[in-house]
Amino acid sequence: MKNHKNQISFPGGAYQEEDGTLVNTALRECAEEIGLMAGDVEVLGELDDFVTQVSSYIISPFVAIIPWPYKFKVNRKEIEEIIEVPISALLDMGRLRLETRIIDDEKVTSFFYPYQGRVIWGATARILNQFLDIFVRAAEAVG
């Protein structure tokens, strides 16, 4: 990774022709980076595409459920560690920090989710924000 080293992110990487689909790319990258096997994953859906502000990469995030607890296997060539953050910590609005800036004449809101001395920011935080919005609306609909 040239552009996004040392950042907190979800497993992911570039689409390869043999993947066939973007969901297969996501599953392959999860297996390569954290040892999450495709057969253990139930894909629930896809979030909106996100464009990274620094490198203009297009990220196509997927949401899935997996068995818990799961025995992840960290690929040290790809990642340093796995950080597990409970949804309740992400929903703690007292922790969430927002910054709004004008970038290329467009108002852009950045999200910062601090947790145990780390800060989730950038595209990962924007993806989390969309996921959490959907999560909260679904929880409210269920009652």
State pLDDT tens for residues 41-67.
999 999 999 998 878 899 999 999 999
Asked if the structure places residue 42 within a domain, the reply is yes
Domain containing 85: what range?
17-142
Question: How many independent structural domains does the chain possess?
Answer: 1
The answer to the question of residue 8 being in a domain is no
pTM of the model: 0.90
Q: Residue 81 sits in a domain of what CATH number?
A: 3.90.79.10
Residue 11 resides in a domain: no
5 lies in a domain? no
Q: What local confidence, expressed as pLDDT, does residue 5 receive?
A: 57
Contacts of 16 (CB under 8 A, 6+ apart): 25, 28
Cα 48-51-57 angle, rounded to 5 deg:
120
**Start-to-end CA span in the chain (Å):** 43
Residue whose pair of structure tokens reads 């970038």 in the numeric block: 103
6 assigned to some structural domain: no
